Structure 1
Amino acid sequence: MKHLIASVLLAAAFAVPASAAPSADSSAVTAIKQLGQDMGDAMVALDVERIDRMFGDDWMTIGQSGSAYTKAELLGDIKSGKKKLTWFELRPIDVQVFGDVAIAQGNVLEKRVVDGQETEMELVYQDVLKKREGRWVVVRSTGAKVK
């Protein structure tokens, strides 16, 4: 029964109506890739105002603990210095645009300080973006460390 449910869910996930097929909107893809670079630059600069504009108020992710982590918590951690990105290098990013929604997947090398401890890591991530008031904002994110 579990295999049947998983098969149905998998089939449904790939049954994309033609109207929801990804577009080849190169200007949107370019803007979203630039947003990724700008986001990293703003985090290194601790520019909370810019970061605030790049994330939707409804943004969240699920942290390593399995708990929800919200935009308010992210901004609070940056303001307090609890989390600080000190360096990053984006790797190739794949972007698919579906009208006013997009998915960006990629990986990034990072150096960050968390609770006074510097770490260096490679992460893979996926961001879901929504076009609001003429600009792209991140509304959901997920990521994992590459071992």
Structure 2
Amino acid sequence: MSDAKQSAEDLAILEQLNLDYIHSDETSDAKRFSEFLAEDFITQTPGVTRNRDEYLEYIAKPRPLKDIVLHDVKIRILGDVALIHGRVTYTMIADGVEQEALYTDVYQKREGNWLCVAACAIAPGA
């Protein structure tokens, strides 16, 4: 397979994983997350670092936000690592206030599959 074809295929996979990540976050779908988070996954949000199990437990609880919209997504494939940078807007359920967050997710291709190994978000209220 040519590098261009592989890159296009990888890009399509990563685009879908990004959509799945956002949708699973909004809908508390810990099961879907468990399918693409690496065993050594780490996530950071302001003041909190969670490992995979801690994050799955956290995400399984009802989310305090709704109506997540993606903006400014940029995917960079760097060999067997990919960085996904983006911005989201969302509405807080408690008070209806719209907020925005920036995020960077790190994926690594392991045994032919892209897995999320790290995530970092600057996300008030999330």
Shorter-normalised TM range = 0.7 to 0.9
Query: Is residue 80 from structure 1 mapped to residue 58 from structure 2 by the alignment?
Result: no
What corresponds to 2:19 in structure 1? 37
SS in 2 for 1:103: strand
Query: Is residue 126 from structure 1 mapped to residue 108 from structure 2 by the alignment?
Result: no
The runs of 5 or more residues in structure 2 that have no matched partner are: none
Superposition RMSD in Å? 2.5
Deviation at 1:37, TM superposition (A): 0.8
Deviation at 1:50, TM superposition (A): 0.7
**Cα gap change, 1:125/1:58 in structure 2, threshold over 3 Å: closer, same or farther?**
same
Deviation by residue 1:79-129 (Cα, 9 ceiling, x = unmatched): 233x4542211113111112211111111112355xx67653111111110
What corresponds to 1:107 in structure 2? 87
Give the distance between the partners of 1:52 and 1:84, measured in 2 at CA: 21
Normalised by the length of structure 2, the TM-score is 0.77
The runs of 5 or more residues in structure 1 that have no matched partner are: 1-22
Normalised by the length of structure 1, the TM-score is 0.68
**Cα gap change, 1:51/1:89 in structure 2, threshold over 3 Å: closer, same or farther?**
same
**Cα gap change, 1:95/1:68 in structure 2, threshold over 3 Å: closer, same or farther?**
same
Larger radius of gyration: 1
- For these two proteins, the number of residue pairs brought into alignment is 120
Give the distance between the partners of 2:50 and 2:96, measured in 1 at CA: 21
**Cα gap change, 1:85/1:31 in structure 2, threshold over 3 Å: closer, same or farther?**
farther
